[in-house]
Structure 1
Amino acid sequence: MSVECLMEKKTKNTEEANRGLSKEDFYLNEQGFMVFTEAYHLKRGFCCKNGCRHCPYRFLKQGI
């Protein structure tokens, strides 16, 4: 698969994943992964207990 094809696929997947989210809800890190912000977590209203980077509930995974 060509690089152009991979980039197009990544862009399409990112656009699909972004539906219903505002710009304050996430950002893309250096590796291209979506990172949810504290604002998003507060809108969601609960902690998923996955040790998210911007968790406003201050949950920390054990063993990290």
Structure 2
Amino acid sequence: MDALVETLDTKLRQWQPDVAEQVRQYIVAIIEMADQDALDILRSKDVEQEALDFSDESVN
């Protein structure tokens, strides 16, 4: 986990400020969902988005 934290810290300093802030917000949201045992909802949304992306690709 320490390597993950170090990598994140390095990246947050390298990215543009608006990108770094967006990443921080995503991480806070993921932590809050994990605290509420709600990550399965996030996975469902990911699967749904992948299906929509695949559908869009097959139309083109």
TM-score by length of 2: 0.34
Which structure carries more strand by proportion? 1
